[in-house]
Structures are given as C-alpha cells and as structure tokens.
Amino acid sequence: MERETSIGKKADEFLQMFKKGEEFTQELLKENERLRFKVAQLEEAIERSGDEAKIRLYEERIKITEGELNSLKERFKQVEEENKDFATKYVEVEEENNNLANLYVASYQLHSTLDFNEVLRIVLEIVINLIGAEKFAVLLIEEKTNELIPVGTEGVAISEVPKVRFGEGIIGTAAKEGESYFAENIHAARGAISMENPIVCIPLKIKEHVIGVIAIYSLLLQKEKFSNVDYELFNLLAGHAATAIFSSRLYTQSERKLTTIQSFLDMLKEKPRR
C-alpha cells in the first residue's frame, strides 16, 4: 500500500515535471517565434534601408548625368554656333577667293601682250564678261587736239560715238578730274541710250595722269546692280588697263620708229654701192 502511494507520488512528480517541461518548451517555441519575427523585421528593415541607399545613389547619378547632359547641350550649342560662324566665313572666303581670281585673270590678261589692239580687245572682254556691260566705248585722249577719241566699242558702232572735248560733259569731266562717275539709276538708259550721258565713266589713269576713259552706256539685261567685285574691277581697269594701253601704244610707236630708222639705215648702207 505504502509502495503504491510512493509510486503514485513519483508519477505525480513526473507529471508535474513533464508539464513544466511542456510549458518551458511552449515558452521556448513562443520566444523562437518572436525572435524569428524580429529577425524578419530586421531583415526587411535592412533591405529597405539598402533600397533607399540605392535610390539616393541613383538620384545622385541622375543629377550628375543631368549636369553632364546640360553641359553637353551647352557645348553642342557652342559648337553649332562656331559651325555657323565657320560656314559664313567659308562662304565669305570663297567669295573673296573668286573675286581675287577674277581680278588676277583680268590683270594677267591685260599685261599678257604689248600689242595695242590685243590690249584693247582684252579691255573690252573684261568689261563685257566680268562686269556685264552691253554697250560701251573706250576713248583715249588725243593730246594735240585735247579731245577724247573713241578707239574701241562694244554694242555700238565706233562711228556713233562722238569725240568729246576734254573737260566737257560727263565723259570730259571724268577725264579732266580723274574721278569715276556712276549714274544714280544704272538702268535708266535702257532703251534710250545717249552717247553724251553714260551710266558709268571710268578714267584710265597712270598715277594722276589720265590717258582716257571707259564710258558704259548700258548693262546686260541680267545685270541688275554692281557688286563689290565690280568696283574692284573698275579700280583695276582704271590703273592696269591704263598702263597696259599706254605701254602697248609706246611699244607699237617705238616698233614703228625702229622700222623707219632701220629702213633709213639700210637705205644709207645701200647708197655707196650705187
């Protein structure tokens, strides 16, 4: 009986102990659950803080990239402006180049010969082809009579161009004063050309000494106005055509005199033989 009682006690104690063990296990499980929850929370927080850091990083990068983009846009604008500038300068240089080519060719041709008629033909060619004149005349001063005599014409017969007294009218005044004349309306003469009233008058000068005049009466249909190169050509003609005409005239005269002297000498040499 006593033994049974002792066994019962022990069983109760064991049961108590088992219950305590169960409770403890329950508590451990709860604590485990709580800790796992905490870990999950912490992991989530870490992850979230990582994303924020990344976002901040990306935002920084976007700011830098935007800055670079803006500076590139600015540079692109600058380069575009420079490009436009270069393009304009290129066109200007091209134009200048072409103008210089015109002037070079005109000057080269004017001094390419000592034949007076050839020089005159070249002057006419330049005025027609490079300036665009339709009707014009070249008049040279005859010092004995003090008159301007037509020596070459284009678009008008030489007989139609009257001699002009030095200092008289537009042509005579241009020759006397050595100043170029440009009519206000260069197309006014179309259809009604007056030999006394040219639209342009260019004195041919060697330094300050005028040897003649180019008188333009009308321009080609397509020639609307004078450009900068035309004025350069007028200046070139005023000087270079004058020297070319003067030297070719002198050369022709000296050639003629040389031939006369040579013939005279030949005649003298032949005399004793007779």
Partner 1 sequence: MPNILVVEDSPTMRQLISFAMKRISGSKVIEATDGVDALKKLSSEKIDLILADINMPVMDGLKLVSLARGNPSYKDIPIIMITTEGAEEDRKRALAIGANAYLTKPIQTQELIRLVNGFISTPR
Least separation, in Å, of the C-beta of 93 and partner 1? 11
Least separation, in Å, of the C-beta of 186 and partner 1? 14
Residue 152 vs 172, nearer CB to partner 1 = 152
Residue 176 vs 187, nearer CB to partner 1 = 187
Residue 126 vs 211, nearer CB to partner 1 = 126
Answer yes or no: are the C-beta atoms of 227 and 189 closer than 8 Å.
no
- How far, in Å, CA of 22 to CA of 19, rounded? 5
- How far, in Å, CA of 206 to CA of 246, rounded? 9
Q: Based on C-alpha coordinates, what's the Rg of the chain? A: 53
Half-sphere exposure of 50 (CA within 13 A, CB side): 6
Contacts to partner 1 by CB under 8 A: 91, 94-95, 98, 101-102, 105-106, 108-109, 112, 122, 125-126, 128-132, 134, 220-223
Q: Residue 265 CB: number of other CB atoms within 10 A? A: 10
Residue 72 vs 93, nearer CB to partner 1 = 93
Region class of 146: left (phi > 0), else alpha (psi between -120 and 50), else beta: left
- Nearest Cα residue to 175 out of 217, 144, 146: 146
Least separation, in Å, of the C-beta of 240 and partner 1? 13
Residue 103 vs 149, nearer CB to partner 1 = 103
Least separation, in Å, of the C-beta of 169 and partner 1? 28
Least separation, in Å, of the C-beta of 129 and partner 1? 5
Q: What share of the chain is helix, strand, coil (3-state, %, to 5)?
A: 65, 15, 20
Least separation, in Å, of the C-beta of 151 and partner 1? 19
Residue 155 vs 167, nearer CB to partner 1 = 155
Sequence-ordered list of residues with C-beta below 8 angstroms from that of 98, at least 6 positions apart, any chain: 229
